[in-house]
Chain A
Amino acid sequence: MSKIVRTVASQLMAFVLVFGLYVIMHGHVTPGGGFQGGAIIASGVVMLIVAFGSGQIKKFLRERRLSMVESSGALLFILVAFAGIGTVFFYNFLVGSRIFGGIPPTGSNPGDVWTGGVIPLMNLAVGLKVTAGLSAAVLALALFSSGEEMEE
């Protein structure tokens, strides 16, 4: 693409990252969550692929790193789920504790990020997983359609 498109896309990527991270980390306060925020960041990666071409992007996003981030997200999700196994699988053991332990009043309220127990941690894990997974899949498809291959 032209230089204007490349410049605007690279400047816009910072805002896409900030917005995606906001949607992920506010998943327990506002609508959204890990899946949605990860999809937002992955769509930013798609914008970069369209602007710069998949041959440029594959130097930065390698298959091994993306797979590592995705698997670590899945592992964090399962570890947080197993951490509450003293009571039951997927027990929200952090409510009332010091980490994300605030309890909001019942009914409408402005909300606080420091609430939710394990839900913010799970949102973060799922966000990592969806970001890396969708980016890897889209990049592999784009490289395949242009006749190249993903770098290890």
Chain B
Amino acid sequence: MRQIFAWLFLIVLMVFLVIGGFEMMHPFGEPPSTMDQYIIDNAQEEAGSNNVVGAVVFDYRGFDTLGEATVLFAAVMGVLFVLRASEKKEET
């Protein structure tokens, strides 16, 4: 009996979540913010860069690129740490 109630509760919860998710979705072709149009219009003037993608990556969203560089740094450090020359061979 309790199992049936648990399954019913789960199903009702899932239905509510799915319906709520679909309700909150934006209609196709209407982005939720106007930031993209602002960047397209003003990137050349504000960042001085013809490559708007470059302006976004290194200027508007520079903090994101810092994290990306950190990920690369950590990956290379991991590879070198595992595969580096050992300081001294163990004498057996």
Complex interface bits, B48-73 against A, C-beta within 8 A gives 1, otherwise 0: 11110111011100110110110011
Task: Tell me, in angstroms, the Cα distance from A42 to B41 when the chains sit together.
Answer: 35
Instruction: Determine if B58 and A123 form an interchain contact, defined as CB atoms under 8 angstroms apart.
Output: yes
A33 CA to B51 CA, complexed, in Å: 10
| A31–B53 alpha-carbon span in the complex (Å) | 8
**B1: A residues at CB distance < 8 A:** none
Which of B50, B57, B68 sits near A29, CB closer than 8 Å?
B50
User: Is B90 an interface residue when CB atoms closer than 8 A count as contact?
Assistant: no
Interchain CB contact under 8 A, B83 and A141: yes
Contact with A along B26-60 (1 / 0, CB 8 A): 00000000000000010011111111011101110
Interface size on B, residues (CB 8 A): 31
Contacts of B85 in A (CB 8 A): 63, 149-152
A131 to chain B minimum Cβ distance, whole angstroms, is: 11
B80: Cβ under 8 A from any A Cβ: yes
Do B83 and A133 touch (CB < 8 A)? no
Which of A32, A92, A103, A129 gathers the greatest number of chain B CB atoms within 10 Å? A92
- Residue in B48, B54, B65, B80 whose beta carbon sits within 8 Å of that of A136 in the complex: B80
A109 at the interface (CB under 8 A from B): yes
Q: Mark the stretch among A4-12, A14-22, A43-51, A70-78 that contacts chain B.
A: A70-78
- 9 smallest CB-CB distances across A and B, nearest first, come from A90-B62, A133-B76, A28-B49, A149-B85, A140-B83, A95-B48, A137-B79, A144-B83, A116-B49
B residues with a Cβ closer than 8 A to A are 41, 44-51, 53-55, 57-59, 62-63, 65-66, 68-69, 72-73, 75-76, 79-80, 83-86
